[in-house]
């Protein structure tokens, strides 16, 4: 009489218990044109930044606002960041590598494209070509005029500005 193995049944049972990865939100059409700030000066972003807004699929950002600190290290600019991106807390730390005008490789994340910075380097609007995230950083409490300007630039770059949620 053949013996029935429980192994296949256990594998199926365990597979049913594993959570699937969350669907990736896209806040702009992938492949749509996006522009980064050609005049962006990376040396001017050193210091502390507070997260003022982020794109979210929900009615609210879904987590506490984060921030970033950019400092000059032995090999160039370095970042330590905790951000709220579409309801998830995301951390990044390590060297920032410039990959083009207004474009930075950030450890553990998709490249950051600075799509707008105000003339005083108080506010940064950051997006990414695949549209998986977008957010606004500010040196202090963001003014309504700068938040509106950031929203307009996100709209211009194909993002759905209505999904940009302030903190």
User: What's the pLDDT tens digit per position in 157-167?
Assistant: 999 989 999 99
Taking alpha carbons only, the member of 28, 23, 32 closest to residue 125 is 28
d(CA 50, CA 39): 22
Whether 2 is in a domain gets the answer no
Confidence of residue 15 (pLDDT cuts 50, 70, 90): very low
Residue 64: exposure state from Cβ atoms within 10 A (0-12, 13-18, ≥19): exposed
DSSP 122-133: -EEEEE-TT-S-
| pLDDT given for residue 11 in this prediction | 41
Give the confidence band of 31 by pLDDT, cuts at 50, 70, 90: confident
pLDDT at 24: 57
Residue 22 belongs to a domain: no
pTM score above 0.95: no
Confidence of residue 2 (pLDDT cuts 50, 70, 90): low
| pLDDT confidence of residue 61 | 86
Phi, psi torsion values for 160, nearest 5 degrees: -85, 95
Closest alpha carbon to 138 in 156, 158, 160, 118: 118
Residue at 25 is within a domain: no
Residue 101 is assigned to a structural domain of this protein: yes
Is 87 in contact with 62 (CB distance < 8 Å)? Answer: yes
- Asked if residue 18 belongs to a domain, the reply is no
Computed over every residue of the chain, the mean pLDDT equals 88
What domain range is 110 assigned to? 42-160
> Has residue 85 been placed in a domain?
yes
Residue 10 pLDDT > 80: no
- Per the structure, the count of domains in the chain is 1
**What CATH number is given to the structural domain containing 75?**
2.40.128.20
pLDDT above 70 (res 122): yes
Q: Is residue 24 part of a domain?
A: no
Helix (H, G, I), strand (E, B) or coil at 151: helix
Is 144 among the domain residues?
Answer: yes
Structure confidence at residue 48 as a pLDDT band (50, 70, 90) = very high
Q: Quick check: 64 pLDDT over 60? A: yes
Task: State how far the Cα of 124 lies from the Cα of 76, in Å rounded to an integer.
Answer: 20
Distances (CA, A) of 71 to 17, 49, 76, 141: 43, 11, 8, 21
pLDDT in tens, 134-158: 999 999 999 999 999 999 999 999 9
Contacts of 85 (CB under 8 A, 6+ apart): 54, 55, 133, 135
């Amino acid at each position: 009489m053949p013996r029935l193995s429980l192994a296949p049944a256990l594998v199926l049972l365990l597979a049913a218990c594993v959570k699937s990865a969350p669907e990736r939100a896209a806040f702009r059409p992938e492949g749509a044109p996006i522009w980064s700030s050609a005049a962006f000066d990376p040396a001017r972003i050193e210091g502390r930044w507070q997260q003022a807004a982020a794109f979210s699929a929900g009615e609210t950002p879904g987590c506490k606002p984060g921030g970033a600190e950019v400092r000059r290290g032995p090999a160039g600019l370095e970042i330590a960041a905790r951000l709220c991106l579409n309801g998830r807390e995301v951390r990044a730390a390590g060297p920032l590598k410039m990959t083009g005008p207004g474009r930075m490789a950030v450890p553990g994340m998709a490249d950051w494209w600075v799509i707008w910075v105000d003339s005083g380097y108080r506010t940064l609007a950051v997006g990414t070509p695949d549209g998986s995230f977008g957010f606004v950083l500010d040196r202090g409490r963001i003014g309504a005029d700068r938040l509106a300007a950031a929203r307009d630039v996100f709209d211009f770059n194909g993002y759905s500005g209505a999904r940009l949620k302030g903190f």
